[in-house]
Amino acid sequence: MSSPRRTTIYDVAREAGVAASTVSRALNNPRRVNPATREHVLAVAERLGYRPDPLATALQSGHKATIAMLVPDITNPHFFGTIRGAEKRASEAGLTFILANTEESADNERNQIERLSRSVDGFVLAASRMQEATTRELAREYNLVLVNRQVEGLPSAVVDNGAGSRQIVEHLASLGHRSLVYLSGPHRSWPAAQRWRALRAAAEAHGMTARRLGPFPPRVEGGGVAADAGLGAGATALVAHNDLLAIGVLRRLAERGVPVPGQVSVVGYDDIFGADLCAPALTTVAGPHEEAGRAAVELLTRKGSLSRSQPAPQQVVLSSHLVIRRSTGPAAR
């Protein structure tokens, strides 16, 4: 069953029979509204259980609003572009920008939101690890926008790995590979599920077998166990959840004397800084992550704006593509 939607200023305006701008003035600038109208609006707002949106109030009043961006792992280069894009857009909008690390923990993520809520007007959640029900619950209380995660009814900006995943399979199939193993990321990772779904469907369409192993820690240290598991599965191509894991896989294969791509091809996701500097240079899926960060902040400011009729929650979807380097080659015979 879906969670009840948070009452908005537009619900109050509709019920009171006035414009949203009138409701805004009644709540934030009462001297500009007829006293009788103001009392009517306040009575309707109380009856509907409306609570003022802090971001909307800050934007409307011209005060310096504050937003926070929460990321699962602040040391992961994958998030650098997303953070940079969000910070730039926040600066352009005159917003104070706070960055917080949740350490891959859904509990930490929720605690950070609740702890910061008194001083923060809106939140951008990057690759959120929280369950959908929890996210919807918090969205009723706070301004939330998601990056690289989709929850029905909530605004989000995502890099769609579907195109990039299909290009991985097409690339490997053209090199004669008949099987691949996906070395999955964290259990609650939304991108991990999306990538596996796209890889599996594309592999089936090309007559290839695909197998999912994991989850593995999405860091270089997780690559050792992931590489050993992939070799044990007997596939000629290993597709890692992200570039950090893929780099760890390359290191482990080198330690074991397994030639890449002579015996096994390796592919990653994210095209982080350094993906082209490892040996061999990593084939990986790239996407406009900085643009996703900018779009998320833009959605957040639109969500808090009182100057327009209420838009439906928006989802910005950006495309990805495969960058071919030296870690992939013809399948071993």
Domain ranges of the chain: 9-52, 61-159+289-319, 161-287
Residue 145: exposure state from Cβ atoms within 10 A (0-12, 13-18, ≥19): buried
Residue range 95-122: mean pLDDT, rounded: 92
Could you tell me if 233 and 213 are in contact, meaning their C-beta atoms sit under 8 angstroms apart? Answer: yes
Write down the pLDDT at residue 226.
98
Write down the pLDDT at residue 38.
83
Question: b or e along 233-246 (b: 16 or more beta carbons within 10 Å of the residue's beta carbon)?
Answer: eebbbbbbbbbbbb
The CATH fold of domain 61-159+289-319: Rossmann fold (3.40.50)
Measure CA of the first residue to CA of the last residue in the chain; give whole Å: 53
Residue 105 Cα distances to 21, 125, 201, 208, 214, angstroms: 40, 12, 30, 35, 18
Separation CA 135–CA 43 (nearest Å):
30
What band does 55 get if pLDDT is binned at 50, 70 and 90?
Answer: low
On whether the 9-52 domain is CATH 1.10.260.40, my answer is yes
Could you tell me if 15 and 48 are in contact, meaning their C-beta atoms sit under 8 angstroms apart? Answer: yes
Could you tell me if 262 and 332 are in contact, meaning their C-beta atoms sit under 8 angstroms apart? Answer: yes
What band does 171 get if pLDDT is binned at 50, 70 and 90?
Answer: very high
Write down the pLDDT at residue 301.
86
Comparing 13-27, 42-56, 260-274, the range with the smallest average pLDDT is 42-56
Query: Which one is the CATH code of 161-287: 3.20.20.70, 3.30.460.20, 3.40.50.150, 3.40.50.2300?
Result: 3.40.50.2300
Separation CA 236–CA 214 (nearest Å):
17
What band does 333 get if pLDDT is binned at 50, 70 and 90?
Answer: confident
pLDDT digits (tens, 9 = 90+) for 240-256: 999 999 999 999 999 99
Q: Which of 59, 55, 60 is nearest to 26 (CA)?
A: 60
Could you tell me if 148 and 303 are in contact, meaning their C-beta atoms sit under 8 angstroms apart? Answer: no
- Answer yes or no: is pLDDT of 88 > 70: yes
Query: Within 13 Å and on the Cβ side, how many CA atoms surround 167?
Result: 19
Query: What's this model's pTM, rounded to 2 decimal places?
Result: 0.78
User: What phi, psi does 250 have (nearest 5°)?
Assistant: -60, -40
What band does 48 get if pLDDT is binned at 50, 70 and 90?
Answer: confident
Q: Which of 234, 246, 233 is nearest to 323 (CA)?
A: 246
Pairing of strands 156-160, 122-126: unpaired
161-287 and 9-52 share a CATH fold: no
